[in-house]
Amino acid sequence: MSTPWIRQTVLFILLVFLQVWLFNKIHIGGFATPLVYIYFIIKLPVEMNRNMVLLIAALIGLTIDLFTFTLGLNMLATVIAGFSRTYLLKLFAPKNVYESFSPSLATFGKALFLRYAFLIILLHQIVLFVTESFSFFEPLQLVLRITGSYLLTLFLVYAFEKIQLGKIKS
């Protein structure tokens, strides 16, 4: 009970910190900003209660919102990502493992994990940027923002995973 919770809390604080102080300041080409806090939702244990996942997703979204003064914006995106996670897991999680575990390259295998992460990140970013674009609607700009940020986030999530995989092996 205790150690995974402590690890989750540390990861939560670390990701919020990195997002607010580092990644929000990255703005490549005027449109690509990585949104790595979604990694927290990706990594929640597979067996976790669905209501709990939603609550945590709402919480991390709201935390980011409080820091960026955009109430509700990130929250909506993370809640929708957290909700879809259940169904994505049903599609991609390996069926032969019974104990509670976090989705990762090691537990899922490369192909399944990447497919799972691709979809959840894509959904999160589409919701986030479409909602944000209600202030100025420009389709081309919107597509650019989603694509740029999507690729950047994917790259970072994959890098995090690779680092952890390296640790386990060594």
| Contact status: 61 vs other proteins (CB under 8 A) | yes
Assess contact for 81 and 38: CB atoms under 8 A: yes
Nearer to other proteins, 10 or 109 (CB): 10
Dihedral-angle region of residue 54 (phi above 0 means left; psi in -120 to 50 means alpha; beta otherwise)? alpha
Cα 169 to chain centroid distance, Å, stands at 24
| Contact status: 50 vs other proteins (CB under 8 A) | yes
3-state secondary structure of 32: strand
We find the least distance from the C-beta atom of residue 77 to other proteins, in angstroms, to be 9
Nearer to other proteins, 28 or 159 (CB): 28
As a whole number of angstroms, the distance between CA 104 and CA 96 comes to: 15
| Contact status: 131 vs other proteins (CB under 8 A) | yes
Binding residues for other proteins (CB under 8 A): 21, 24-27, 30-31, 33, 50-51, 53-55, 57-58, 61, 65-73, 75-76, 79-80, 83, 86, 131-133, 135-136, 138, 141
